[in-house]
């Protein structure tokens, strides 16, 4: 009987508290689950950050307790203050940490974020107006339009603008340039006038090469635009000669396509200039010095002219 009683006592005393380990793990998981649900329902970033830091703190502390003690969950695991994250997490690699706060590093800014005042009028709206105004020239093959990300290209046939080997604009050229001017004059987009030629050798005494001919034709179009009132600060001249062909120079049709003048409108516009306020010089009024009475040894009557125009009669001898 004594042996049986001792055996029963030993069996009851073994592993009586093991259920606490499983219970503690279960409560930790349930606590984290409800914290996550509560965090999802919160809209404010500040509160969400506090809860996020609290979750990380709870799991880290629970893991340390289990590794050191093997069991137990403490109820003071919730943080009351926000844990400040590291600066690198907040600001990333584009931020230089300084004593007085973060500073943006050079070259890390978004270069595509250009101020609106430096952009001209949208090119797609100008394209629609030019298509309707140059519909006859486009149909006859004398003009073409092309829109890219940065440029609106207006190609004008050199045969319509100039005679062979000449840079003197014809009457037809002035009419077409006038149509283009009416559309691009109200905007402030930059303008590049580009001249192109074929590879045929120049055979006159006016121009020594196709370089000069292409520049001269671009200049003629630019001067015409300038005479019609286009702001000169918006425009520039580019001459490509025979070295940027649009088609092959082996055929007559290809050479004709390469002889052209292009008016290119940039998506960027001329920045507004600050108004210069003219300051008129102020007139300085010099007051005449009053006449001093000269000393005299006699007692004769003296007449002294005063600054305001009057006179004073005295017999006193004083300055």
Of 19-33, 162-176, 241-255, where does the model show the most confidence? 241-255
Which residue in the block uniquely carries the two structure tokens 């580019």? 238
Show the tokens assigned to 257: 């396509």
Q: How confident is the model at residue 75 (pLDDT cuts 50, 70, 90)?
A: very low
Mean pLDDT of 271-299: 59
In this prediction, residue 123 carries a pLDDT of: 92
Domain 117-269 has CATH 3.40.30.10: no
pTM above 0.75, yes or no: no
To the nearest 10 degrees (0 to 180), the angle between helices 123-133 and 171-184 is: 140
Contacts of residue 299, defined as CB under 8 A and 6 or more positions apart, other chains included, come to 315, 317
Compute the distance between CA of residue 99 and CA of residue 103 in angstroms, rounded to an integer: 10
Of 128-137, 287-296, 302-311, where does the model show the most confidence? 128-137
CB 112, CB 226: distance < 8 Å: no
* 113-159 per-position pLDDT tens digit: 444 458 889 999 999 999 999 999 999 989 999 999 899 999 998 88
Q: Which residues pair with 302 in a beta bridge?
A: 314
Q: Is the pLDDT confidence value at 73 over 50?
A: no
CA angle 173, 178, 182 (to 5 degrees): 155
For the chain, give every domain's residue range. 15-90, 117-269, 286-319
Contacts of residue 195, defined as CB under 8 A and 6 or more positions apart, other chains included, come to 213, 214, 215, 216, 217, 218, 219, 237, 238, 239, 240, 261, 262
Q: Is the pLDDT confidence value at 219 over 90?
A: yes
CB 27, CB 1: distance < 8 Å: no
* 69 closest CA partner among 21, 31, 135: 21
- Which is more confident, 164 or 246? 246
- Which is more confident, 286 or 238? 238
Q: Is 154 helix (H, G, I), strand (E, B) or coil?
A: strand
Mean pLDDT of the chain: 75
Show the tokens assigned to 86: 């590291």
In this prediction, residue 18 carries a pLDDT of: 75
Cα 25 off chain centre by: 56
Show the tokens assigned to 110: 């978004």
Q: How would you classify the pairing of strands 151-157 and 143-147?
A: antiparallel
Of 71-75, 94-98, 122-126, where does the model show the most confidence? 122-126
Show the tokens assigned to 124: 């797609």
* 243 closest CA partner among 207, 292, 198: 198
In this prediction, residue 82 carries a pLDDT of: 44
To the nearest 10 degrees (0 to 180), the angle between helices 210-227 and 171-184 is: 60
């Amino acid at each position: 009987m004594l042996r049986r009683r001792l055996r029963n006592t030993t069996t009851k005393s073994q592993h009586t508290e093991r259920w606490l380990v499983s219970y503690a793990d279960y409560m930790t998981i349930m606590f984290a689950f409800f914290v996550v649900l509560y965090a999802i329902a919160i809209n404010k970033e500040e509160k969400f950050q506090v809860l996020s830091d609290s979750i990380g703190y709870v799991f880290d502390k629970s893991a340390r307790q289990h590794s050191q003690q093997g069991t137990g969950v403490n109820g003071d695991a919730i943080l009351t203050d926000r844990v400040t994250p590291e600066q690198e997490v907040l600001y990333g690699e584009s931020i230089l940490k300084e004593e007085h706060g973060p500073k943006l590093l050079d070259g890390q800014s978004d270069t595509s974020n250009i101020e609106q005042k430096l952009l001209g009028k949208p090119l797609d709206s100008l394209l629609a107006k030019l298509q309707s105004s140059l519909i006859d020239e486009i149909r006859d093959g004398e003009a073409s339009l092309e829109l890219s990300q940065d440029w609106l290209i207006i190609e004008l046939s050199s045969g319509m603008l100039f005679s062979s080997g000449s840079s003197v604009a014809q009457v037809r050229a002035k009419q077409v340039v006038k149509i283009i001017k009416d559309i691009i004059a109200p905007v402030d987009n930059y303008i590049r006038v580009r001249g192109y030629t074929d590879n045929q050798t120049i055979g006159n005494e006016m121009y020594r090469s196709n370089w000069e001919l292409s520049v001269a034709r671009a200049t003629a179009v630019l001067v015409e635009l300038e005479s019609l009132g286009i702001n000169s600060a918006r425009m520039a001249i580019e001459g490509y000669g025979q070295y940027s062909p649009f088609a092959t120079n082996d055929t007559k049709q290809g050479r004709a396509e390469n002889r052209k003048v292009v008016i290119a409108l940039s998506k960027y516009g001329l920045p507004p200039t600050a108004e210069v306020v003219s300051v008129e010089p102020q007139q300085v009024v010099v007051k005449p010095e009053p006449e001093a009475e000269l000393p005299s040894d006699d007692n004769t009557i003296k007449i002294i002219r005063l600054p305001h125009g009057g006179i004073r009669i005295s017999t006193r001898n004083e300055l």
